[in-house]
Structure 1
Amino acid sequence: MADQHNKYTGALAVLTSLFFIWGFLTSLNDILIPHLKAVFTLNYTQAMLVQFCFFAAYFVMSVPCGFLVDRVGYKPGIIVGLAVAGGGCLMFYPAAGLHSYPLFLTAFFVLASGITLLQVAANPYVTVLGNPDTAASRLTLTQAFNSLGTTIGPYFGSLLILATAVKTSDELALLNAEQLSVYQAAEAAAVQQPYLWLAAVLFGLAAVFAFLKLPTVTATAAAASPGAMPEPQAAASAWQFPLLVLGALAIFVYVGGEVAIGSFLVNFLGQPHIAGIAEQDAGKLVSFYWGGAMVGRFIGAVAMRKVHPGKALIFNALCAAGLVGLAMFAGGRVAAVAILAVGLCNSIMFPTIFSLALTGLGPHTGQGSGILCSAIVGGALIPLLQGLFADRIGIQHAFFVPLLCYLYIAYYGSRCARQVRLKID
């Protein structure tokens, strides 16, 4: 038993690198959005196409990735995912060099396709790699390192990508051909170099995982949940589990709300009546949003060994909704601090929803993971919806969209907690 425990501990330690790197890559979108918005003179709706293309990959690719992981296993899925993500990073080089927004959007889709495969393989692997009773706590701990990546990513991106102030369309009109060429080359290089480094890291990780020996754990290792119905052996598909279906919707609105807030932070903090700060300084503050999630996940990994995950979900979701409401109707430092503090509330939501929705699926765990990862498409649609409202009613009041998302998450938490109470009674 001790040897097996040590074997699993080593595997979990290695897997944390994946959670870190895809968190780092995803949070860089929050820095690229204001950069591309200014470079290509986009409105909020057009700028949110970045998140639309990135998270649409989850919807398009998650179910095929789920079948792939079921067929070839977790480790090969991880290796392929790293290689595809590395290829997506390489595509940023020609996109920036050609000054092509459509090519940027294509690169985001390819990069996210690789990350999707990583998520489909790594998330359920963590849930079944040990005692099922502590699956939520274990996934929360590994997700804490995902948050470490999302904390460092915006600061890294703001230093390299937002270091040069982007010129307005009026300022560009004053440049001659030579000055314009020099300016565009500088803007391209600001994106090209960081993503070349990231591609090298991803390909290097793929090579490392190819030589690593990881324990073989099948999806059937997942234990049955007190509230999971029907029995895994009797169910024809994962769609027959109500908490999975409701959990998929919870993942949809959670990712959508979290990504929408992060995507608008730089522009929101730059508003004169909020903080009125420059893009690079606002980009550094985005790290506090994601850093709050990191701190909360480390705390949650311990706390949820004693608190039912459903109850923790209710508490965090209601706190997040309250903070978003405060950011909508307050101004100045109060609004800025409130919206950044939402990150702390986000902390345990994704791993908690994911583990609650997957519990008890048994042989349908791979399919269930694919369904949940497909629901991450909320990160494509909800920021786009908020962008439409931001163009019409203003960026501050458009935050009502994530507020509604958090209210549904609180409902899902109450549904999970009630299911357990009913089983005990």
Structure 2
Amino acid sequence: MSKKNSYLGPLFIIGVLFFVMGFITWVNGTLITFFKKAFSLDNTSSYLVTFAFFISYTIMAIPCSYVVKKTGFKNGMSLALLVMAAGTLIFIPAAEMASYPVFLVGLFTIGIGLTVLQTASNPYATLLGPRESAAQRISVMGIANKGAGIISQIVIGKLLLAGATATDPKEELDKVVVPYLILTGILVVLAIVIRLSKGLVEVSEEEEETSSISPVTTQKTSVFQYPNLVLGVAALFCYVGVEVIAADTIISYGVSLGIPEEEARVFGAYTLGGMMFGYVLGIVLIPKFVSQQAYMIFSAVLGLVVTVIAIFTTGFTSVMCIAVLGFANAVIWPALWPLALSGLGKFTKIASALLVMGISGGAVLPLVYGGIADSIGSTQQAYWIMVPLYLFILFFGLVGHKKKSW
């Protein structure tokens, strides 16, 4: 069997996990609109959904990296799925108590499980093959992730947002019980399957070091001595912020413009569909026709241009510009990881944990967006927050990833 074929089994399993991550992550856009209506929340309070979900990445990334180091990839992923199942199960008593804070606890718990999966799966996909084609492999994972997100937005959106709103908030919240019980069962079954699977192979410390070794690696004693990593963490913080804002605010944004909720509930699927198209294009073009960093530079420029157009147009046109940001954002994540991890050698695991901490941009920046929207009374003008974020991503693609010393 060729070495390339030996990657296919493990990558298929990782693809299944990315599908699970996508289904659970991208339903947040639906939950924001659902909880905003059920609990009569303002914009800022409704975006506590993304804050509770993504802040776990900052709090738990480094502890989770030690969990993965102790358990190995396979056992760590199985444990992560069980933690996620505990989080989805919390939704049941939260609905019974009609308690928004308890729902947020459930989202935070799901985020902890996802942190373990992210800490293990992204470097795993990066290391299973040549580094110059890592963005291509992670793009395949992204298709699974966003494809699941489209399914979750359509299915869960139809269950939670379709039809007339119940007069009793408790009756409205009961809509989450059946789907989240089903999700809990699926996660438990997957945890058992992963634990018993013989397809996942461990990547040893030696393999990690030789796959990313550089002449200066042995001269450095701290992960913070690598500017490409530190700037990469900041760029990833910005990236996840614009990604989550584009995907999770679009439904509420459409509703704020007067578009009926029945129509707006599928807008998040448009954004994720744009991301899927971007991933497919990345798979075709990288690295044969365009480099990882060149595609990232193009993506940042496109994000800037489309954001400005969204701010200065109106109605459905503006909403579709936010959806197009999905395409602009698609390849930034898979291109950024290998550039930020380049030359880290023995620091790869802790560096991956720091990058996972950057996912907290999805917690902080949508909350800032909501605060701006409430303070100025415009969900549209609040999108100006994305301009400096794309500018920093552009800086990392042009200059930041090349810096090997401070």
Aligned to 1:271: 256
Aligned to 1:24: 23
Please tell me whether residue 375 in structure 1 is matched to residue 358 in structure 2.
yes
The answer as to whether partners of 1:123 and 1:139 remain within 8 angstroms in 2 is yes
The answer as to whether partners of 2:33 and 2:252 remain within 8 angstroms in 1 is yes
Please tell me whether residue 36 in structure 1 is matched to residue 35 in structure 2.
yes
Aligned to 1:184: 170
Aligned to 2:399: 415
TM superposition outliers: structure 1 runs of 4+ over 6 Å: 223-226
Please tell me whether residue 341 in structure 1 is matched to residue 327 in structure 2.
no
The answer as to whether partners of 1:222 and 1:359 remain within 8 angstroms in 2 is no
Please tell me whether residue 151 in structure 1 is matched to residue 163 in structure 2.
no
- In structure 2, distance between residues paired with 1:308 and 1:29: 32
Aligned to 2:241: 256
Aligned to 1:396: 380
Paired AA for residue 217 in structure 2: P
CA RMSD of aligned residues (A): 2.0
- In structure 2, distance between residues paired with 1:131 and 1:264: 36
- In structure 2, distance between residues paired with 1:299 and 1:39: 39
1:330-377: CA deviation from partner (whole Å, max 9, x where unpaired): 112321221111101111011111121112212211101100001111
Aligned to 1:364: 347
Report deviation, 1:205: 0.8
Report deviation, 1:188: 2.4
Identity fraction in percent: 35
Tell which deviates more after alignment, 391-400 or 354-363: 354-363
Please tell me whether residue 221 in structure 1 is matched to residue 204 in structure 2.
no
Report deviation, 1:224: 7.0
The answer as to whether partners of 1:261 and 1:402 remain within 8 angstroms in 2 is no
Paired AA for residue 155 in structure 2: F
Query: Which of 341, 347, 350 matches 2:333?
Result: 350
Report deviation, 1:418: 5.2
Paired AA for residue 188 in structure 1: L
Please tell me whether residue 56 in structure 1 is matched to residue 41 in structure 2.
no
Aligned to 1:285: 267
The answer as to whether partners of 2:38 and 2:173 remain within 8 angstroms in 1 is no
Paired AA for residue 192 in structure 1: V
The answer as to whether partners of 2:246 and 2:271 remain within 8 angstroms in 1 is no
1:57-112: CA deviation from partner (whole Å, max 9, x where unpaired): 00000111112212321111111111101110001011011100110110000001
- In structure 2, distance between residues paired with 1:165 and 1:353: 43
Paired AA for residue 57 in structure 1: S
Paired AA for residue 295 in structure 2: A
Q: Which structure 2 residue ranges, 5 or more long, are not aligned?
A: none
Aligned to 2:86: 87
- In structure 1, distance between residues paired with 2:287 and 2:151: 28
- In structure 1, distance between residues paired with 2:280 and 2:204: 27
- In structure 2, distance between residues paired with 1:119 and 1:341: 25
- In structure 1, distance between residues paired with 2:223 and 2:307: 34
TM-score (norm 2): 0.94
- Residue 293 to residue 243, structure 1, CA distance change in 2 (3 Å): same
Please tell me whether residue 196 in structure 1 is matched to residue 181 in structure 2.
yes
- Residue 17 to residue 377, structure 1, CA distance change in 2 (3 Å): same
- In structure 1, distance between residues paired with 2:206 and 2:347: 8
Aligned to 2:223: 238
The answer as to whether partners of 1:323 and 1:338 remain within 8 angstroms in 2 is yes
The answer as to whether partners of 1:229 and 1:241 remain within 8 angstroms in 2 is no
Aligned to 2:283: 301
1:375-398: CA deviation from partner (whole Å, max 9, x where unpaired): 111111101111110002210000
Report deviation, 1:221: 2.2
Aligned to 1:122: 121
Within a 5 Å distance, the mapping from 1:2-13 to structure 2 comes to 2-13=1-12
The answer as to whether partners of 2:302 and 2:328 remain within 8 angstroms in 1 is yes
Q: Which structure 1 residue ranges, 5 or more long, are not aligned?
A: 173-179, 421-425
Tell which deviates more after alignment, 92-101 or 277-286: 277-286
- Residue 290 to residue 86, structure 1, CA distance change in 2 (3 Å): same
